[in-house]
Copies of this chain bind each other. A is one copy, B any other.
């Protein structure tokens, strides 16, 4: 997802965030500095900062205030990625080797801790206690989510509800809070920031479902890791859950583990694609996007509305 049009209109502010991110992860420990830069190099869509900035536009937009929220949220996200990669024993992220792969789990653990701590430093620049409380609660939820995720691994009898709860904590919550806190930083009234929270929640759900679809439909080159890797790692996502309604497919999936060969994974991916599970997943993602778009209609006019709408539509169409 390349938000090129955003980079045109919000380029200078997003560039500022990027420079500050680089400053934030710099450390006089060479080890953690290099590890953090490895993560920055892998890039990322900076979707959380984008939502923070756009949501702040519904109020008084001042980059000096709002940037602290954007940085805190992106750093929390980055820290959680580093720890996620430990949990998932992942070798690659966005086509680059992970910190735990280059160094080890311990370095990854502490680099993640360090980045989270940096996030806290930015939080201290936010004077609103309400914002603090919301951010801390979100971190707690993200952390609990990660532990639940381990419990759910290779649990082939889990329900759609288990999946939704998981992606809420993994993705939707931080995006919802990005929108909410952006608005709060812009000092909008509660009517606006509550709606932006819900907008972010629905967008986040759609975003993660799309991500989970792409794990099956995109190419290895596009993903920067083999297709079907989520499933092989025991992370059972929406397309797999839909496909397993067919008991013959379920029987095959239940045999998947880290030893499953590439050829077998290709066959299983094909089964999932042929089952109609991808279309069903797209439909659900679309429903979340429609809910998000409906909320935008309830919001007052703002320059931010059009880009938010475009992001929503982009997520519906994104290929990788």
Q: Give residues in A with beta carbon < 8 Å to B.
A: 27-29, 31-32, 83, 86-87, 105-107, 109-111, 113-114, 116-118, 120-121, 123-124, 127, 129, 132-133, 136-137, 139-140, 142-144, 146-148, 150-151
The 24 listed contacts between A and B (C-beta, < 8 Å) are A27-B144, A28-B144, A31-B147, A31-B150, A32-B144, A83-B109, A86-B109, A87-B109, A105-B105, A105-B106, A106-B150, A109-B109, A111-B147, A113-B116, A114-B143, A116-B143, A117-B140, A120-B136, A120-B139, A123-B136, A124-B129, A124-B132, A124-B136, A132-B132
| Bound-complex Cα distance A68 to B60 (A) | 33
B31–A114 touching, CB < 8 Å: no
| Bound-complex Cα distance A203 to B129 (A) | 32
Contacts of A120 in B (CB 8 A): 120, 136, 139-140
Number of copies: 2
A127–B129 touching, CB < 8 Å: yes
Contacts of A113 in B (CB 8 A): 83, 116, 143, 146
B137–A121 touching, CB < 8 Å: yes
Contacts of A109 in B (CB 8 A): 83, 86-87, 105, 109
A31–B151 touching, CB < 8 Å: yes
Given A113-B83, A121-B140, decide whether A107 and B147 contact each other with a Cβ distance below 8 A. Answer: yes
Besides A113-B146, A121-B133, 11 new A-B residue pairs in contact (Cβ under 8 A), listed by A number: A29-B147, A86-B105, A87-B110, A107-B147, A111-B147, A114-B143, A114-B147, A121-B136, A121-B137, A123-B136, A124-B129
